[in-house]
Amino acid sequence: MLPSARLLGLATVLLAIPAPGWCQQPTVVPPQEVQAPQAGAPGRAAGAPSPAATVTQGVLALKRLGALPLDHDFPALQGRELRLRELTIAPGGSIALHRHDQRPGVAYILSGQMTERRGPGFAPRVIGPGEAAFEATGVTHWWRNEGSTTARALVVDIVPEGLP
């Protein structure tokens, strides 16, 4: 299946979810507010997420590729849009710890690889080209490019109209 067909399929899945009151800005979560995993939890030592989780850095490009207002097709989504962006992240770059509060999204890796750490355990999950991570309401996570090459991802999400 071509990447464009996969992306269209992912967007279709997002649109099928009922959504009154959706789509706020992402909430940045201070590490002290995230429930730390228990000592001995698989994949993560006891304690708060890494200090690197609190910093967004190494984002080489953030390009808004377009958006589609959703109110015509879905009256309950008045003032919301389906947004598509491309992110380019340098090796060692990261997207800070944040929570998705009524802002569903999908991150699809085009090239390179990204490591996602999702609460509550924050065990690392590496995703590479052709793979996707679905981000629903309540997801708390952060991303880091732990690879040796630049990573590129398409991110599709439903947000209030006009966000960058």
Which of the pair, 98 or 130, is modelled with greater confidence? 130
Going through 19-161 in order, the beta strands assigned E by DSSP cover 27-28, 57-69, 80-99, 105-111, 114-118, 124-127, 132-135, 140-144, 151-160
- Which SS3 state, helix, strand or coil, does residue 63 take? strand
Phi, psi of 3 (to 5 degrees): -55, -40
| Domain boundary assignment for the chain | 3-30+50-160
Mean pLDDT of 140-155: 96
Give which of 147, 149, 153 is closest to 130, Cα–Cα.
153
Mean pLDDT of 83-103: 92
Local confidence band at 121 (pLDDT 50, 70, 90 cut-offs): confident
pLDDT at 75: 94
Question: Taking the model in full, what pTM does it have?
Answer: 0.70
d(CA 103, CA 81): 11
Give the H or E element holding residue 14.
helix 3-15
Task: Pick the range with the lowest mean pLDDT from 6-10, 81-85, 100-104, 148-152.
Answer: 6-10
Q: Which CATH number is 3-30+50-160's, of 1.20.1090.10, 3.30.230.80, 3.20.20.20, 2.60.120.10?
A: 2.60.120.10
